[in-house]
């Protein structure tokens, strides 16, 4: 194994280690709530009137579903950070026209996305890349979900462009007019289970980053409070 390959493997394992710790924390808390509420329900002594059995049952169901969601997100993230090597026999990589894929994605968002969001696109023709179209569509879905979450009341503007940089690499840039992030938040934005918003699992950007890295790409972001966020994704074009 080369030093580069070993470093990539170590980084994946570190990411999974951090993610596993986050999953353990969430699942333990969820099942603690399930157990405590179930114990209250099974008490033979009369419950105080302030305790509503239906409310306890609702809590059990809700926390169980939340734990299930966390586990499913773990599966998604684990798949995302694995290699795109030929050992993945479930789906062979092919060549993808990222500009066309982005154009189709925007069309779907215009039809099914929040009506209060305006789209401005500059989808220039770019070289083909090697990868999985389905995974890339999923990556775009996670990225735009983050952008929508940053916009109060699902209202604002999204800019999406495709181009090439000075190296000839393919560049996808997504910008939103959302709330933006402090520098401390931006540094941790791609960490699994990190979120500055209550009620959010904080794995969308981690999954998207994992998918893009699986395609041998790089992701960078810049953001300032009140000025939105810019995500810049670069990848080497397909070499026949």
The reply to whether 220 and 111 lie within a common domain is: yes
The reply to whether 63 and 103 lie within a common domain is: no
The answer as to whether 88 is a domain residue is no
The reply to whether 37 and 153 lie within a common domain is: no
Q: What is the mean pLDDT of residues 161-181?
A: 94
**pLDDT at 142 > cutoff 60:** yes
More confident residue, 123 or 239: 123
Which pLDDT band holds residue 199 (cuts at 50, 70, 90)?
A: very low
Q: Is residue 98 within 8 Å of 183, Cβ to Cβ?
A: no
The answer as to whether 89 is a domain residue is no
Out of 165-179, 193-207, 214-228, give the one with best mean pLDDT.
165-179
**What mean pLDDT, rounded, does the chain reach?**
77
Q: What's the CATH code of the domain at 124? A: 3.30.565.10
Q: Which domain-ending residue is among 51, 81, 111?
A: 81
Which pLDDT band holds residue 25 (cuts at 50, 70, 90)?
A: low
Which pLDDT band holds residue 89 (cuts at 50, 70, 90)?
A: very low
More confident residue, 123 or 73: 123
Q: Is residue 180 within 8 Å of 225, Cβ to Cβ?
A: yes
The answer as to whether 87 is a domain residue is no
The answer as to whether 59 is a domain residue is yes
Q: What is the mean pLDDT of residues 23-30?
A: 68
Distance in angstroms (rounded) separating the CA atoms of residues 202 and 149: 11
**pLDDT at 16 > cutoff 70:** no
The reply to whether 56 and 108 lie within a common domain is: no
* pTM: predicted TM-score of the whole model, two decimal places: 0.62
Distance in angstroms (rounded) separating the CA atoms of residues 203 and 73: 7
Q: Are strands 170-176 and 156-164 parallel, antiparallel or unpaired?
A: antiparallel
For the chain, the domain total comes to 2
For residue 151, what are the CA distances in angstroms to 73, 121, 137, 179, 215?
Answer: 23, 18, 21, 6, 29
More confident residue, 91 or 6: 91
Note the maximum CA span of the chain.
74
The reply to whether 185 and 148 lie within a common domain is: yes
Domain of 33, in residue numbers: 3-81
The answer as to whether 193 is a domain residue is yes
The reply to whether 144 and 212 lie within a common domain is: yes
The answer as to whether 202 is a domain residue is yes
pLDDT at 20: 63
Out of 4-18, 158-172, 187-201, give the one with best mean pLDDT.
158-172
More confident residue, 52 or 51: 52
pLDDT at 128: 97
**pLDDT at 164 > cutoff 70:** yes
pLDDT at 162: 97
% the chain with pLDDT above 70 = 65
Q: Which domain-ending residue is among 31, 56, 81?
A: 81
The answer as to whether 86 is a domain residue is no
């Amino acid at each position: 194994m080369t030093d580069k390959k070993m470093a990539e493997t170590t980084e994946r394992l570190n990411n999974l280690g951090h993610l596993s710790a986050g999953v353990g924390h969430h699942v333990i808390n969820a099942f603690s709530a399930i157990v405590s509420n179930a114990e209250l329900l099974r008490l033979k002594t009369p419950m105080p009137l302030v305790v509503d059995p239906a409310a306890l049952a609702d809590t059990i169901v809700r926390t169980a579903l939340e734990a299930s969601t966390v586990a499913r997100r773990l599966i998604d993230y684990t798949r995302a950070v694995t290699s795109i090597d030929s050992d993945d026999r479930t789906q062979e990589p092919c060549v993808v026209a990222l500009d066309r894929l982005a154009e189709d994605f925007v069309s779907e968002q215009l039809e099914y996305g929040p009506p209060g969001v305006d789209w401005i696109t500059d989808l220039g023709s770019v070289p083909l890349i090697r990868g999985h179209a389905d995974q890339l569509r999923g990556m775009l879905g996670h990225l735009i979900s983050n952008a929508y979450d940053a916009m109060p009341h699902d209202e604002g503007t999204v800019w999406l462009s495709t181009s090439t940089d000075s190296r000839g690499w393919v560049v996808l840039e997504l910008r939103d007019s959302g709330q933006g992030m402090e520098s401390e938040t931006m540094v941790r934005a791609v960490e699994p289970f990190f979120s500055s918003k209550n009620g959010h699992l904080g794995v969308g950007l981690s999954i998207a980053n994992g998918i893009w890295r699986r395609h041998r790409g790089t992701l960078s972001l810049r953001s300032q409070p009140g000025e939105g966020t810019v995500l810049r994704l670069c990848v080497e074009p397909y070499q026949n």
